[in-house]
Amino acid sequence: MNLREFLSNDEEFNSTISQEDHTKNSCPEVLGIPWNSKSVTIILSGKMAPNHGITKRTVSQQLASAYDPLGFLVPVLLPAKVFLQSLWKDEYGWDTELPPNLQEQWRIISSEISTFYSEIKRQAFERETLAQSTSSQTLANLQWQPVSTSAARTRPTL
């Protein structure tokens, strides 16, 4: 297995990558999540296919199909998880079609999830803003600090 399809947000680095190793996709996926290399953002979106004949099985399938390895979609998916939990509490069968009021409730929840779209920037601060508004001491404090070694030497007793 070979590593291939490289891409960076640095154009100078991209020019050093051989053409056969350079990705053709302008918005590749990293861990299954789209990454925009130009704006250096990851793209989050909720996708739920509309379906007819809504059952506990179809609700569970749609909820399980939402790929979210980093947990960014948890607040968006929470109403759907609560809805599925209510189906379990009310002891609906896997293939029992839900009553019209619950089907409508699920359509509303799934359409709200489907309309979700967000882009998250990689950096917490814009470089220009950070450079203008902070001193060198503040910048030094933003760096990772080592963990205290004294805490590692003490072990809790049971």
- Tens of each residue's pLDDT in the chain, 158 residues: 356 677 777 778 777 777 776 677 777 777 777 777 777 788 888 787 767 789 999 999 988 888 888 888 888 899 999 999 999 999 999 999 999 999 999 999 998 888 888 888 877 566 666 566 555 555 555 555 555 444 444 444 44
Residue 38 maps to a domain? no
How far apart are the C-alpha atoms of 156 and 152, rounded to whole Å? 10
Backbone phi, psi, residue 59, to 5°: -65, -45
Residue 34 maps to a domain? no
CB atoms within 10 A of CB 48: 22
Residue 133 maps to a domain? no
Closest C-alpha among 62, 129, 64 to residue 98: 62
Residues 6+ apart with CB under 8 A from 112: 76, 79
Residue 84 maps to a domain? yes
Q: What is the domain range of residue 85?
A: 56-118
Residue 16 maps to a domain? no
Residue 18 maps to a domain? no
Residue 10 maps to a domain? no
110, burial (CB in 10 Å: exposed 0-12, middle 13-18, buried 19+): buried
Q: Which residues pair with 120 in a beta bridge?
A: 42
Residue 106 maps to a domain? yes
Number of domains comprising the chain: 1
